[in-house]
Structure 1
Amino acid sequence: MIDLAVRGDLRDVVARAKVGVEWTAAFADLDPTNLPMLFALTPYGDAVFNKRQMPTLLAELDRLPTAFGGEWVAQARELCQVVECGQHLYLWFLGD
């Protein structure tokens, strides 16, 4: 399971998703040229996205195949808005 959270510069948690991304091996098969940010997700590592990356991440969420969808996508969108509206905030995908 990959958890999602918005953190500040000091890694303090500002917001957290109620559900995480259920990892499947299919994530490794995502097209890195079409979905490079989501392709970066791994079940064991962290991926961090800053405010300038939010439009790209949101566009990738729009192109994400429905098989990967779920409640986490809506919550990721909400967390992207938190990052976009704040200062010095980052969206973290936290692997195990």
Structure 2
Amino acid sequence: MINLQVRSETGTIEARAEHGVVWGPELASLDQSVFPMLGHLLPYADTVFNSRQVVTLLAEVSRLPPGVITAEFARELLDLGQTVLDGPTGYLWFVGD
């Protein structure tokens, strides 16, 4: 399971998703040339995006094939991504198992 958090510059968790995303073949097989942000997620490691990268990441969500992530996770991803964009500094963390 990969969970989602917004962390401040100092590492403080500012917000977190209630739903995670299960690592499966759909997510693992995303074409990195089409999904440059989501295509680089790893199941057992953390992946961190800054606010400039979050812009690209959020654009990828609407183009995902059905079944890659749940509707609940997509909604939280969009919301937490916007939180990063609205704040002075912050990072979107995908926290792997």
Gaps of 5+ in 1: none
- If the length of structure 2 is used for normalisation, what is the TM-score? 0.94
Structure 2 partner of 1:36 = 36
The total of aligned residue pairs comes to 96
- Counterpart of 2:91 in structure 1: which amino acid? Y
Is 75-84 or 24-33 further displaced after alignment? 24-33
- Counterpart of 2:86 in structure 1: which amino acid? C
- If the length of structure 1 is used for normalisation, what is the TM-score? 0.95
In the TM superposition, what whole-angstrom CA distance separates every residue of 1:73-93 from its partner, at most 9, and x where no partner exists?
110000011000001200000
**Within 2, Cα distance between the matches of 1:59 and 1:50?**
15
Q: Aligned residues: percent identity?
A: 47
Gaps of 5+ in 2: none
Structure 1 partner of 2:21 = 21
1:67 is paired with a residue whose SS is coil
If each structure's helix is expressed as a fraction of its own residues, which one has the higher value? 1
> How many angstroms does 1:54 deviate by?
1.9
